[in-house]
Chain A
Amino acid sequence: MLKIKNLHAKVEGLKILKGIDLEINPGEVHAIMGPNGSGKSTLSSVIAGKEEYEVTRGEILFEGEDLGEDAPEERAHKGIFLSFQYPVEIPGVTVTNFMRTVINANRKARGLEDMPANEMLKKIREKSELLEIDRKFLSRSLNEGFSGGEKKRNEIFQMAMLEPKLSILDETDSGLDIDALRIVANGVNKLKTPENATLVITHYQRLLDYIVPDFVHVMYDGRIVKSGTKELALELEEKGYDWIKEEVGA
């Protein structure tokens, strides 16, 4: 589904990604771990097509097609979803109206008519229940004054509404208490199918107790320096990142 080949990228002249290779197949859950500043979030932004990031070498293939210069919305239409580490607050637009705009923008891109209001409401109700989201929450301004947990739940709610092929969860566990973490992880797990894939980006192993990865990659200084199965995450939790740094440095 996703194939990243020798990806180099820079932002504001600074080289952040220095040759990433990664392949994710349908039905798989991958986790990328690594210390702060290793380039994890940059990788997720580059896959989502953030303009400020310039790909200088290599390519990202999605379902066999080079994403090239595709705008973020085009990548979304193809089925890529990014759950933000810091979801943006948009005062003045309710969660419901936002969702409606988003769903219909995606339908339009696929040549479909707007979703009828009753169908939309039904879907919103169904998916918000999955994330244990209160109805009142839906008429509040998007992310404005939301707690950390509410913001992340809202991200996964959007993911549930959009049903993407590839979901990238960027530090979804940061700022979550254990209950919120359980709800979020439960939502992600329920959305899993043999056709879609998930890329979890995290600093801590904690989230991986709930969203169990098939593969774990360790990122350091713009490269994936080690790959393995879920046991690698436990090893990192136990030993920290220093031994990786030493291994790479050596």
Chain B
Amino acid sequence: MELKDKLLSSFLAFEENVNMNSEIHEIRSRAIKDFEAAGFPTRKQEAWKYTSLNKVLNHDYTVFPKKEDTIEYRDVEKYFIDDIDTYKIVFIDGIYSSHLSSTTHEKIDACLMSSAMNSSKYKPVIDNYFNKVAPQESLTSLNTAFSHEGAYINIPKNTMADKPIQIINFSTGNESALMVQPRNLVVVGENSHVQIIERHQSLTDHPVLTNSVTEIFADKRAIVDYYKIQNDNHQASLIDNTFIEQQRESVCSVHTFSFGGNLTRNNLNFYQKGERIDSTMKGVTVIEGKQHVDHNTLVHHAEPNCESHQDYKGVYGESSTGVFNGKIVVEKEAQKTNAFQSNNNILLDDKATINSKPQLEIFADDVKCSHGCTIGQLDDEALFYLQSRGVPAKEARALLMYAFANNVLESVKIPELKKRINNIIAEKLGVNIGFNL
């Protein structure tokens, strides 16, 4: 049976097993119809021109995993940022793992979507925010139809989350092939601040397909720093759909670190709903083999005096493929917008590919928008400089690539995370970086 049919026929059984909150039931029912009509995206659609899901969809995925909570912390410790204190919201095969998690309801809520959806206490938040910024697109609708579990984070106004929050989704080898659809909701109140680290990690050699949706709402002057670590094994594919709605003077950043996985597609959309908003998107991609990473970004400038910054860097080895499709929309009202986009790539092998496509739709006349894209090799003068200091050519090249990618990390605000990403990049490029001062 094709995956689409399997999902459609599973829907009723799914709904019987989860809560019956009538509003959510309605949202899900509408969403499954949207998905049924749209189907999975194909390369005929402009936004999917360079990314084909055919191979990824061609597995007999289990869509209802059994509950088998068998992971020991020591076996997965390395996937956590464990040298700092954090809240942890952990799922195994889409099911909440209480013994790996460390949630809270004090001052802030960092807990489960399933309980938030079923509790009257959280109903106002769910009613106000759930599925409000996620658009009706095939994969997002599919996630909405099966939305049930994920991270629920609510930071009330004037509150600074006292430690970062890690959201980790593990998949185990208990099923032959597994599809999971986490659904996260992050609501950050006026003047509040939160840092979130998200990771998807497969612990099996079986294929895993994750279709994740995260909705983030940043109220006035809120600050949200969101970090995505994509360093999964090469049997795992990820479609990450993240939608951010920002109110006046809020500052949101999303860093996406793509090193692992088979196919990774990031749909990252920012919607600005007030003045003097700052939106930042940064990405480092270092891949090889037959890996495929697609960054599909959108910034929607709707009000005056806002900024957006996009900086994506990629190093592509062997026959890997990268895609960068960055869309900036500046509405007529959004005068004095500053929108910057840059995408720099290095191809290491003849068979490596990058498709880079900026899309600017500007309807205002007093704006500063810039975009730049480079695809190239390393700077010869820099190479000579390093060699003249005694660094052999091969290592000099590796060091320059490291430097190229590493530069994006300047804006990472959690030092332990920065160090971790630093080390992954160094390891991937075969550079021996020792200590940091």
Q: Nearest CB to that of A107 among chain B residues? A: B390
Contacts of A158 in B (CB 8 A): 389
Choose one: A51, A72, A93, A109; the contact of B402 (CB below 8 Å).
A93
B387 touches A100 (CB 8 A): no
7 tightest A-B contacts by CB?
A: A92-B403, A76-B390, A72-B387, A92-B406, A92-B407, A88-B385, A106-B390
- CB of A2 within 8 Å of the partner chain: no
Can you report 8 A-B residue pairs in the complex whose CB atoms are below 8 A from each other? A90-B382, A96-B437, A100-B434, A100-B435, A102-B391, A141-B407, A158-B389, A162-B389
A87 touches B385 (CB 8 A): yes
What is the interface of chain A, defined by CB distance below 8 A to chain B?
A: 48-52, 71-73, 75-77, 81-82, 84, 87-88, 90-94, 96-97, 100-102, 104-106, 109, 114, 117, 138-139, 141, 158, 162
B393 touches A71 (CB 8 A): yes
The docked-state distance in angstroms from the alpha carbon of A71 to that of B386 is 12
A50 touches B384 (CB 8 A): yes
B390 touches A77 (CB 8 A): yes
A49 touches B388 (CB 8 A): yes
The docked-state distance in angstroms from the alpha carbon of A141 to that of B393 is 21
- CB of B392 within 8 Å of the partner chain: yes
Q: Nearest CB to that of A83 among chain B residues? A: B388
Q: Nearest CB to that of A139 among chain B residues? A: B437
- CB of B244 within 8 Å of the partner chain: no
Contact residues of B between 384 and 412, Cβ < 8 Å to A: 384-393, 395-396, 399-400, 402-407, 409
Contacts of B384 in A (CB 8 A): 48, 50-51, 72
The docked-state distance in angstroms from the alpha carbon of A62 to that of B405 is 38
A76 touches B389 (CB 8 A): yes
A88 touches B437 (CB 8 A): no
What is the interface of chain B, defined by CB distance below 8 A to chain A?
A: 379-382, 384-393, 395-396, 399-400, 402-407, 409, 432-437
Q: Whole-angstrom distance from the CB of A47 to the nearest CB of chain B?
A: 10
Choose one: B381, B387, B391; the contact of A101 (CB below 8 Å).
B391
The docked-state distance in angstroms from the alpha carbon of A104 to that of B435 is 13
A138 touches B437 (CB 8 A): yes
Contacts of B382 in A (CB 8 A): 88, 90
B390 touches A92 (CB 8 A): no
B437 touches A76 (CB 8 A): no
Given contacts A48-B388, A100-B434, A102-B390, contact A88 B381 (CB under 8 A): yes
The docked-state distance in angstroms from the alpha carbon of A51 to that of B395 is 17
A94 touches B391 (CB 8 A): no
A97 touches B388 (CB 8 A): no
Q: Whole-angstrom distance from the CB of B380 to the nearest CB of chain A?
A: 8
Given contacts A97-B434, A139-B437, contact A90 B392 (CB under 8 A): no
Choose one: A50, A73, A94, A97; the contact of B393 (CB below 8 Å).
A73
Q: Whole-angstrom distance from the CB of A105 to the nearest CB of chain B?
A: 5
Q: Whole-angstrom distance from the CB of B346 to the nearest CB of chain A?
A: 13
A90 touches B403 (CB 8 A): yes
Contacts of B407 in A (CB 8 A): 91-92, 141
The docked-state distance in angstroms from the alpha carbon of A72 to that of B437 is 29
B435 touches A84 (CB 8 A): no
Contacts of B432 in A (CB 8 A): 101, 104
The docked-state distance in angstroms from the alpha carbon of A72 to that of B386 is 9
B402 touches A76 (CB 8 A): no
Contacts of A138 in B (CB 8 A): 437
The docked-state distance in angstroms from the alpha carbon of A141 to that of B399 is 13
Q: Nearest CB to that of A80 among chain B residues? A: B388
Contacts of A71 in B (CB 8 A): 387, 392-393
